[in-house]
Amino acid sequence: MGEAVVDRGSQDAVAIFRAAVARVDPLPMMCATVSIEMNGSERRLVAHSGFEEAAFELPAAGRIFAIGMGKASARMALGLEGVLGSDLAGGVIAVKHGHGEVLSRLHLVEAGHPVPDSGSLRAAGMMLDLGQSLDTTLDARDLVIVLVSGGGSAILCAPALGLTLEDKIQATDLLLKSGASIGEVNCVRKHLSAVKGGQLARALHPARVLTLVLSDVIGDDLDAIASGPTVPDPTTFAEAQAIVRRYGLMERLPQAAWRRLIEGGAGIIAETPKPGESAFADNRTVLVGNNRIALAAAEAEAKLRGYECLVLTSRLEGEARELARLFLGMGKDISKSGFPLRRPACVIAGGETTVTVRGKGRGGRNQEMALAFLDALFRSPKDGDGLTFLSAGTDGNDGPTDAAGACVDRTTLDRVRFLGLDPASALADNDSYRFFEAAGALLKTGPTNTNVCDVQVLIVR
């Protein structure tokens, strides 16, 4: 944890954030979701969450495999092993480097995020080749449990025919730096992949498939989480082309990638699987957890600490630095007029913002939002009294950094002035990590092994 968390507002903001993360710990969530039950003389596997339920008969000759991809997949797998024990015949779990767990029945592969690597390729190959790797063939009596969480798009990578890993990396990097939303990024990824957008379901057919999802996507769109490897894909090659054009990336995209999108739009290459395809006939998907669950836990913790509380939204999206002004505006209203809450007040939000990268610095969307908040206070310091703002990722990693985000307050502002740091220059260079490292305001939790988007906490005392 960053050493700068010293005043009461910051201590409370961090505790509220930690309560949100603890509520979406995949291990207890999986143990509460999955069970083996008797249905007369027959055994069945039941997956039941607060969102939906699915049940599968377990014939004596059938087997249960598990595969998973995403930052939370190893901890989800640990919970699944605890429930199923020897009923698990095997499988493979792909997780971000450093986010692993000690598994006893499932093979763990660590892979790259946000940039895929050789581990991403190896994991995808093992999953696409599940039957052959076990010296047998999957059939309709078998059940494959697929554990899906955020980050799976990079962690599981199988370039489509004619593309290389470098093509995929370059295309993804261009999209992420363009300001494209995660949904737009994933639309293009699906159409450059051999596994995303329902194509994993094709590979597992005719086995039955139960997909358990921990959502890191605004609105919980199943086809967007980890790019929807086991669900029908509503997006098309034409849409992927339009996204590339929208951000002016046609000439910068690898030639092979752009050619594939063009040929797909012309019908030369088959589309990703759509609703009604036979591969989805015996597939069910259960949402295990999402950002709203985390925000509810944050709200409960804030109320315990004596705050008037408002949960603003679980669908926060847009440019991080612009949204910082929203939180500052609310903070000023609460501080000066008690609107819409009386002090002490806590405003909580969640979602996933974007950053249009123009500089050469290092950071993430949460650090950028906190820096923009601090920059505005830097220019009008009288508005900073009693305000604390925290923005952090529930996975413990904000962008390609080892910090979850940052937490700023009046003491941060004073320290920045004392050290002669310039928030405006750091913001212009997208260099929030180094700025907050110098200011001592980084929030470092380490890998949490969960992932349900980001959480923002505004405190007005």
Query: What is the predicted pLDDT for the residue at 68?
Result: 97
Classify residue 220: in a domain, yes or no. Answer: yes
Identify whether residues 296 and 280 lie together within a single domain: no
Query: What is the predicted pLDDT for the residue at 39?
Result: 77
Classify residue 305: in a domain, yes or no. Answer: yes
Classify residue 241: in a domain, yes or no. Answer: no
Other beta carbons less than 10 A from residue 341's beta carbon: 17
Q: Which helix (H) or strand (E) holds 184?
A: helix 182-190
DSSP-derived pairing of the beta strands 88-96 and 107-111 = parallel
461 residues of the chain, pLDDT tens digit each: 444 446 789 999 999 999 999 999 999 999 999 999 987 888 999 999 988 899 999 998 899 999 999 999 999 999 999 999 999 999 999 999 999 999 999 999 999 988 889 999 999 999 988 755 555 578 999 999 999 999 999 999 999 999 999 999 999 889 988 888 878 988 999 999 999 999 999 999 999 999 999 999 999 999 989 999 999 999 999 999 999 999 999 999 999 999 999 999 999 999 999 999 999 999 999 999 999 999 999 999 999 999 999 999 999 999 999 999 999 999 999 999 999 999 999 999 999 999 988 999 999 999 999 999 999 998 887 777 899 999 999 999 999 899 999 999 999 999 999 999 999 999 999 999 999 999 999 999 999 999 999 999 999 99
Closest alpha carbon to 175 in 252, 231, 76: 252
Name the E strands within 14-171. Answer: 34-39, 42-48, 53-57, 64-69, 88-96, 107-111, 143-149
Q: Tokens in use for 58?
A: 């377990």
Whether 170 and 188 have beta carbons less than 8 Å apart is answered as no
Classify residue 256: in a domain, yes or no. Answer: no
| Domain end among 289, 321, 353 | 289
In angstroms, the CA 366 to CA 321 distance is 9
Whether 361 and 401 have beta carbons less than 8 Å apart is answered as no
Identify whether residues 113 and 34 lie together within a single domain: yes
Residue 300: give the domain boundaries.
Answer: 8-20+292-460
Identify whether residues 202 and 88 lie together within a single domain: yes
Identify whether residues 83 and 209 lie together within a single domain: yes
Q: Tokens in use for 188?
A: 């293009």
Other beta carbons less than 10 A from residue 304's beta carbon: 11
What single-letter amino acid sits at 255? Q
Identify whether residues 334 and 231 lie together within a single domain: no
Identify whether residues 15 and 141 lie together within a single domain: no
Query: What is the predicted pLDDT for the residue at 132?
Result: 52
What single-letter amino acid sits at 350? G
Query: What is the predicted pLDDT for the residue at 3?
Result: 43
Identify whether residues 421 and 402 lie together within a single domain: yes
Q: Is-above-0.85 flag for pTM?
A: yes
* Residue 368 belongs to domain with CATH number: 3.40.1480.10
Classify residue 70: in a domain, yes or no. Answer: yes
Please give the tally of structural domains in the chain.
2
Give 427-452 as a DSSP string.
Answer: HHTT-HHHHHHHHT-EE-----S---
Whether 321 and 365 have beta carbons less than 8 Å apart is answered as no
Classify residue 1: in a domain, yes or no. Answer: no
Residue matched to tokens 């996507």: 217
Classify residue 297: in a domain, yes or no. Answer: yes
159 DSSP assignment:
B
Q: Tokens in use for 309?
A: 């509380």
Query: What is the predicted pLDDT for the residue at 114?
Result: 82
Classify residue 421: in a domain, yes or no. Answer: yes
* Residue 85 belongs to domain with CATH number: 3.40.50.10180
Identify whether residues 231 and 308 lie together within a single domain: no
Give the 3-state DSSP-derived string for 326-385, with helices as H, strands as E and coil as C.
Answer: HHHHHHHHHHHHCCCCCCCEEEEEEECCECCCCCCCCCCHHHHHHHHHHHHHHHCHHHHC
Identify whether residues 101 and 137 lie together within a single domain: yes
Identify whether residues 314 and 284 lie together within a single domain: no
Identify whether residues 83 and 119 lie together within a single domain: yes
Identify whether residues 420 and 279 lie together within a single domain: no
In angstroms, the CA 178 to CA 356 distance is 6
